[in-house]
């Protein structure tokens, strides 16, 4: 059976999104062109779908034959990955992963590492492809020293989509010094522990959309340096929540836009975290956030005690807009919906809170904390500088805080000592929204 894949649904052509992106994202050559040029089926390179034979050498051999124009094809089936693969120097290539790859090795590092590659796509045509990291085998022993599932370094004009990344021993997916990328229609399921980040981005011109993350650390997070990042239709389903940081010396982040973010039973809806340091964060827009049952809602903390202090007066935050937030926090008296705690040596400026309506699920009041932060809305003060500290107690629920929930909200976290099942890619990642691009499986014809 031959699959004919919709170019639109699979993002084969360059796509320009507005907002904070600076140009087109995604592969520059259609998938069909790559597949017609050459297809390297790993079964022809010695792979066996028996869940015990190491598929690593076959993937590497297939990559070497197809990395200059072609497709590495991993058909449906269960494969064991005992030796990690570093895929280097690709040009006009793709990895079509319709099978499930199970971690069998125990080394650290990266199970799949793609680097110095241009015009690249990694996806499942059936929307059933997955990598199962079985991280619980490390975590039940108290260890986070296992490998990441997927890392990309200096990859340009790329997309990753229609895949599930499950139970990574360490981080699930990181994009380091990449450019012009699109990530979408993904499900990430991790253990209930810190150190198991979902998606980390420190790159330029990246669009992340329609992604679900379950873990207890970063959901979709921007790190430094980063510029022109658009993140939308995100489902943080019992997670750590979305964030920026941790920020340290010479921070350089600008033009970041998050919108349509739904956060359930997580650490926070959005956090910007640092402790000392230097550099700048500017032009950040956080809009259309819905939250329920989270510890924190908006948490800007430049004295974050969970990281050691970095030399410097603090990271300068400027032009931060928070718009249209609704829902409830777990306990507003303990952790209020607004915390803007900026460094005395680098006060936050031009911060705007508007259409912000959050209320507590416990008790009858909530607190807002603002320190050294200037702008409008909430407990912020007008002006541009100087030190101050204020706490405002709010005893009346704001108008319009009621917000919908999602049917797939988890009733409990996945633990750290037992297997985590491979999920199905959701058909919605934010209340009332369908994915921006159709799932690949729905765009597939025989």
| Residue 260: CATH number of its domain | 2.160.20.10
Question: Nearest CA to 388 among 371, 376, 365, 406?
Answer: 371
Does residue 336 contact residue 295 with C-beta atoms inside 8 Å?
no
Active site residue 257: no
Question: What pTM does this model have?
Answer: 0.94
Tokens of 43: 């079964």
Q: What is the torsion angle, in degrees rounded to the nearest 10, for the CA atoms of residue 360, residue 189, residue 88 and residue 252?
A: 10
Identify whether residues 385 and 277 lie together within a single domain: yes
Residue 414, domain member (yes or no):
no
Identify whether residues 276 and 333 lie together within a single domain: yes
Identify whether residues 202 and 277 lie together within a single domain: no
Question: Nearest CA to 430 among 269, 295, 300?
Answer: 269
Identify whether residues 153 and 23 lie together within a single domain: yes
Give the active site residue among 139, 172, 209, 292. 292
Identify whether residues 196 and 274 lie together within a single domain: no
CA 22 to each of CA 17, 208, 225: distance values in angstroms, whole numbers, following the listed order? 9, 14, 16
Tokens of 417: 């000592």
Q: What is the pLDDT of residue 20?
A: 80
Identify whether residues 153 and 212 lie together within a single domain: yes
How sure is the predictor about 247, in pLDDT bands with cuts at 50, 70 and 90?
very high
Q: How many domains does the chain have?
A: 2
Is residue 113 over pLDDT 90?
yes
Q: What is the pLDDT of residue 103?
A: 98
Q: What is the pLDDT of residue 3?
A: 32
Active site residue 209: no
Residue 246, domain member (yes or no):
yes
Cα separation, 19 vs 13, whole angstroms: 19
Q: Omega before 246 cis (within 30°)?
A: yes
Residue 230, domain member (yes or no):
no
Residue 210, domain member (yes or no):
yes
How sure is the predictor about 360, in pLDDT bands with cuts at 50, 70 and 90?
very high
Domain limits at 62? Answer: 17-216
114-140 pLDDT, tens digit per residue, is: 999 999 999 999 999 999 999 999 999
Last residue of a domain, one of 164, 181, 216: 216
Question: Nearest CA to 316 among 345, 341, 273?
Answer: 345
Identify whether residues 82 and 133 lie together within a single domain: yes
Q: What is the pLDDT of residue 6?
A: 36
Give the active site residue among 119, 167, 200, 217. 217
Average pLDDT of every residue of the chain: 94
> What would the mean pLDDT of 7-16 be, rounded to a whole number?
38
């Amino acid at each position: 059976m031959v699959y004919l894949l919709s170019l639109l649904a699979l993002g084969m052509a360059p796509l320009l999104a507005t907002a904070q992106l600076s140009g087109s994202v995604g592969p520059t050559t259609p998938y069909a062109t790559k597949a017609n040029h050459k297809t390297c089926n790993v079964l022809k390179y010695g792979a066996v779908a028996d869940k015990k034979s190491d598929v690593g050498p076959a993937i590497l051999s297939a990559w070497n034959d197809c990395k200059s124009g072609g497709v590495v094809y991993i058909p449906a089936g269960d494969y064991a990955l005992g030796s990690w693969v570093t895929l280097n120097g690709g040009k006009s290539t793709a990895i079509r992963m319709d099978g499930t790859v199970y971690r069998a090795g125990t080394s650290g590092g990266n199970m799949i590492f793609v680097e110095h590659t241009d015009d690249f796509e990694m996806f499942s045509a059936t929307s059933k492809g997955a990598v199962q990291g079985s991280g619980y085998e490390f975590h039940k022993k108290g260890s986070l020293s296992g490998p990441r599932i997927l890392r990309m370094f200096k990859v340009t004009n790329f997309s990753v989509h229609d895949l599930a990344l499950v139970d990574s021993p360490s981080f699930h997916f990181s994009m380091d010094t990449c450019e012009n990328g699109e990530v979408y229609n993904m499900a990430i399921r991790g253990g209930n522990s810190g150190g198991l980040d979902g998606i980390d981005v420190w790159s330029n011109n990246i669009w992340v959309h329609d992604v679900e993350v379950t873990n207890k650390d970063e959901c979709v997070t921007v790190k430094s340096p980063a510029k022109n990042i658009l993140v939308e239709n995100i489902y943080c389903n019992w997670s750590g929540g979305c964030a920026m940081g941790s920020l340290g010396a010479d921070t350089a982040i600008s033009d970041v836009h998050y919108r349509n973010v739904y956060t359930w039973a997580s650490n926070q809806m959005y956090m910007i975290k640092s402790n000392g340091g230097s550099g700048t964060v500017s032009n950040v827009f956080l809009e259309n956030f819905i939250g329920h049952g989270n510890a924190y809602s908006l948490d800007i903390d430049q004295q974050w005690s969970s990281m050691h202090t970095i030399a410097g007066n603090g990271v300068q935050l400027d032009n931060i807009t928070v718009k249209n937030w609704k829902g409830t926090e777990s306990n507003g008296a303990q952790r209020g919906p607004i915390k803007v705690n900026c460094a005395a040596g680098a006060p936050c400026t031009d911060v705007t809170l508007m259409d912000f309506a959050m209320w507590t699920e416990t008790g009858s009041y909530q607190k807002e904390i603002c320190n050294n932060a200037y702008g409008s809305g909430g407990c912020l003060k007008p002006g541009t500088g100087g030190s101050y500290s204020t706490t405002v107690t709010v005893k009346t629920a704001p108008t319009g805080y009621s917000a919908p929930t999602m049917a797939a909200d988890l009733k409990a976290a996945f633990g750290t000592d037992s297997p985590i099942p491979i999920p199905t890619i959701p058909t919605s990642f934010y209340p009332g929204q369908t994915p921006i691009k159709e799932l690949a499986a729905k765009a597939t014809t025989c």
